[in-house]
Amino acid sequence: MKLLVFVLNNTDKLDELMVELSEAGIRGATIIESSGMAQVLTHSGEDDPLIAYLRSIMDPAKDNNKTILFVSEEDEIVTIREVIKKVIGDLSEPQTGILFTIPIDFTDGIKKEPKA
């Protein structure tokens, strides 16, 4: 079992992503409001040249991301990644998101759905 973490930069795609995941049979994600370091720095009062540069490249109307957490088996990880790629596109492109997994040693309180 793994924890898959997806930080979604383009939050306009959140609803479409959730619908596509549901249609692919993925259930049970937790969505958290989040902010990246660059976003925090661009709103600080610092006069540092790096911060001025970050302000110039950041979208000032965009204040946060969505961090989506999935506790999933390996086969579901493959499906989630495919859906994210379909909806969000190539994550190597700017302002899309980042995706990673972390191994989970144990879980408690998660209802396991019977496999079909």
Domain of 15? 2-34+64-103
- The answer as to whether 113 is a domain residue is no
Tell me the pLDDT tens digit for each residue of 95-112.
899 999 999 999 998 877
**Strands 97-103 and 2-8: what pairing?**
antiparallel
Q: How confident is the model at residue 62 (pLDDT cuts 50, 70, 90)?
A: low
CATH of the domain at 17: 3.30.70.120
pTM here is: 0.77
- The answer as to whether 39 is a domain residue is no
Those residues with Cβ within 8 angstroms of residue 17's Cβ, 6 or more apart along the chain or in another chain: 8, 68, 83, 84, 87, 88
Those residues with Cβ within 8 angstroms of residue 10's Cβ, 6 or more apart along the chain or in another chain: 88, 95, 96, 97
| Domain count of the fold of the chain | 1
- The answer as to whether 9 is a domain residue is yes
